[in-house]
Amino acid sequence: MQNIKLTFWALLALLTALWLLAEPTVFQPANFFALRGTMVQYTGIIAMAAMSVAMILALRPRWPERWFGGLDKMYRLHKWLGIAALVVSVVHWLWGQGPKWAVGWGLIERPVRGERPPLENPIEQLLMSQRGTAEGLGEWAFYAAVLLIVLALLKYFPYQLFYKTHRLLAAAYLVLVFHAVVLTTFSYWMSPIGTVMALLLAAGTYSAVIVLLRRVGAGRQVRGRIASLQYYPGVKALETEIEVSQGWPGHKPGQFAFAMSDRTEGAHPYTIASAWNEKDRRITFVTKELGDHTSRLREKLKVGDEVSIEGPYGCFDFDNGQPRQIWIGGGIGITPFIAGMKHLAQERRMHPDQRPPMVDLFHTTADYDEKAIVKLTEDAVAAGIRLHVLVDARDGLLTGERIRVAVPDWRDASIWFCGPTGFGEALRRDFSAQGLPVAKRFHHELFAMR
């Protein structure tokens, strides 16, 4: 999370500093309308830069993943940038429209403008001739973008509709790029802020085209076929085993992938619940019935069906050099730890002379399925880790204190958590209060892609 915040605020600070270099008169405006002009420019730059970076992140690039700590963290930054673009673009619109309303209501007087000096630069002349079109199209694109961003932020907006409508933001963005290029103060383009904005708009435009062509992650997709299905009614979870063809690069335990069985529904992210074996070439997903799509999977999926798999993604891979680890899986958050156990068991078989990390796994759940717990226990035994299963109604809630009692050497451990966000944040604060360096030792999977 620290790198997400650093990147977010550093981006805004850098853009502001570069804009001030190009617009030093902002602190001494000649009148209100001069201030209005500079504020329209500033808010427009911030909004378009935020949208551009968000559009770039929509391509799920691999190169910044390690810096941010995984694609799940990158999606959190994508969300923050979307919210920032929404708020700042509304402010931008108000700076543009508000003074017009005030003039119409008689609250302020419209400034008297002298004759504009003739433009000598042919590019500036061309841009000036497009101002009316850019203003009109930009206003309607703004309305569309606001609506689409708000819908994306509504958790109860169905994923299937979100998948279809969110892509339209790319089209709105392209219109806003035209709006920005035409209406940005021409002198800015010869300054550092203009160079930065040109690069961001170009990269954002490329990203938007890829999104509209539905080619996001195309180079990381492989075809697979469902090999087996196992349903656990007690926890309402479906285990799907998929045979993947050549092209899958393998994955680390704890990583996830996007799987698509229905093109109209789109790809959904699922944590991989299996270790990678090059000879076997199978991937397992465990999916809990949490919404319309996941509730229908048991009826829709059949052995032999083809599935598209994209990935792997994520840095929640238990690889931080700590020989002592505590794993905490809340509900369906147990899936990355299933993969972790299978990986440890595989390593024990292949390298019996190597000392594996000491691990305590806490699985807390409101639901209970005897068959699922038996398989979980077998995985724990094969991996050589200590398993603690807590059923809420029977054992009460898991707390930091209960973990510390069960693991006396917790101060030497790294903690890996996957589960409800509120639960994870509560545990993080609890261990931080007890002196654990949580910035380095508490790893939290932010498995929320909206």
Q: Which pLDDT belongs to residue 361? A: 97
Domain 218-313 has CATH 2.40.30.10: yes
pLDDT at 410 over 70: yes
- pLDDT tens digits, residue range 306-361? 999 999 998 888 887 778 999 999 988 999 999 999 999 998 888 888 888 899 99
Q: What is the pLDDT of residue 226?
A: 95
Best mean pLDDT range from 54-58, 247-251, 257-261: 54-58
Residue 280 binned pLDDT confidence (cut-offs 50, 70, 90): confident
Give how far Cα 97 sits from Cα of 40, 100, 117, Å.
10, 5, 26
Burial state string for 128-144 with b = 16 or more CB within 10 A and e = fewer than 16: eeeeeebeebbeebbeb
pLDDT band at 448 (very low <50, low <70, confident <90, very high): low
1: number of Cβ within 10 Å: 14
Does residue 4 carry a pLDDT above 70? Answer: yes
Residue 161: predicted pLDDT: 81
CA distance 51 to 145: 10
Q: In the structure encoding, which two tokens stand for residue 357, read together?
A: 């990390």
Collapsing DSSP states into helix, strand and coil, what is residue 432? helix
Does residue 102 carry a pLDDT above 90? no
Query: Measured between alpha carbons, how far is 88 from 130 in angstroms, rounded to an integer?
Result: 24
pLDDT, position 447: 64
pLDDT value at residue 26: 85
The CATH architecture annotation of domain 324-444 reads 3-Layer(aba) Sandwich (3.40)
Beta bridge partners of 325: 359, 414
Instruction: Render pLDDT for 127-181 as a digit per residue (tens, 0 to 9).
Output: 988 999 999 999 999 999 999 999 988 877 777 788 788 999 999 999 999 999 9
Element of type H or E holding 212: helix 192-212
So what's the pLDDT on residue 114?
A: 64
Residue 195 reports pLDDT greater than 90: yes
The domain defined by 2-110+120-212 folds into Four Helix Bundle (Hemerythrin (Met), subunit A) (1.20.120)
Give pLDDT, residue 299: 87
Average pLDDT, the chain: 91
Residue type, 30: A
pLDDT of residue 174: 98
Q: Rounded to an integer, what distance in angstroms lies between the CA atom of residue 360 and that of residue 26? A: 58
Which pair of tokens denotes residue 159?
């994923």
Q: State the average pLDDT over residues 75-102.
A: 94
pLDDT score of 307? 93
Helix axes 168-183, 159-166, angle to 10 degrees: 30
Name the residue ranges covered by the structural domains of the chain.
Answer: 2-110+120-212, 218-313, 324-444
